[in-house]
Amino acid sequence: MTGLDFLGFIADLYRIPRAERRARIAEYAEAYGLTEELGGMIGGYSHGMKQKLALISAFLRQPRLLLLDEPFVGLDPVASHTLKQHLRGLCRSGGAVLFSTHILEVAQTLCDDIAIIRHGRLIVSGPTAQVTRTASLEDVFLELQGEAR
């Protein structure tokens, strides 16, 4: 299956009209630098290209809520920047994003609220400024790790 076939399949699932899907695919493929590769077989894509394709498929349907697991893994700096812009735009328009990450600087910079979960248990949660106070999220996380030992 090609990247374009996959995105067409996703658009069919969500009943996105053909004219809209073409415009959205073109917009997101350009934003993530994947336009030239969409005609290629997904099996030949690098990890980063597959990650970009998955993100395009998520944004294609213009969701109000996105649940993402490690969305920045495999992305180049330009694609990471683009993703941050798209996530902020979704939130500004009244949507919400819940994502997991091990990149604590990204979480601290992007997130309005933070939750730290260890072994399936919620350790701390709340507004980012309240959770971090004057420390970095990394410092808070390491301090909580020390308490667990």
Residue 125 lies in a domain: yes
Domain residues for the domain of 108 are: 102-149
Q: Total structural domains in the chain?
A: 1
Give the pLDDT of residue 147: 67
Average pLDDT per consecutive 10 residues, the chain (149 residues; last block may be shorter): 98 96 97 97 97 98 96 96 96 95 92 91 94 92 76
Give the pLDDT of residue 148: 55
Give the pLDDT of residue 118: 85
Judge whether 83 and 77 are in contact, CB under 8 Å. Answer: no
Give the pLDDT of residue 119: 86
